[in-house]
Amino acid sequence: MPLKRKFETTTTKRVPFSKHPGYTLEVHDLGGFLSNVQYALEFEKERVPVSAKFMTVGRGEMNHIDIRDENGQISRVHAKIECKDGAFTITDMGSTNGTYLNGNIIEKRKAFHLNAGDTIVFGKCAMARFIRLEPPAADPDADARDILPDTISRASG
């Protein structure tokens, strides 16, 4: 009987960093999703929705956000972003090269609050902004389109 992996992953994106040759961003679907996504990490111009109760950032497919680098700046499990009671935190998981929040290195294994607009740097090389996503624009005609055909058929029948 073949051994089963502890987790199943699906790579949803693979994007090279334009400002950092030799670095690639991969996003893996590892489950545990929040019902509504309101925040994202923006790497250069690539937005990665913060869509799970917690997401790990590191080097390897066991992470939600997999940053492959040729220089070894990113640790296997570098940092964790977590949502509790609607508030987001970031924790450096004991990385070799540190995690920076708004230019300041954060203490290892201690959670720090994230606010929209914060800048995060993983291992001095991969920079992301924690951003609030805008809700989709409401379509004022959507209700009319849904109701109108039914109203017309009842009136003519």
**Structural domains in the chain, sorted by start:** 11-28+37-132 (2.60.200.20)
Q: Among positive and negative, which fits the CA dihedral 89, 52, 29, 117?
A: negative
Residue 143: per-residue pLDDT:
54
71 neighbors 22 (Cβ within 8 angstroms): yes
Q: What are phi and psi of 22, to 5 degrees?
A: 95, 0
47 neighbors 132 (Cβ within 8 angstroms): no
Q: Mean pLDDT score of the chain, rounded to an integer?
A: 78
Quote the CA–CA distance of 43 and 68 in Å, as a whole number: 13
Quote the CA–CA distance of 104 and 85 in Å, as a whole number: 25
Strands 119-122 and 126-132: antiparallel
Question: What average pLDDT does the segment 94-119 reach?
Answer: 97
Quote the CA–CA distance of 80 and 77 in Å, as a whole number: 8
Residue 120: per-residue pLDDT:
97
Percent pLDDT > 70 in the chain is: 66
The whole-model pTM stands at 0.72
Residue 7: per-residue pLDDT:
37
Closest-CA residue to 55 (of 28, 75, 86): 28
41 neighbors 50 (Cβ within 8 angstroms): yes
Length of the chain: 157
Quote the CA–CA distance of 32 and 69 in Å, as a whole number: 26
The first and second tokens of residue 5, run together, are 């992996």
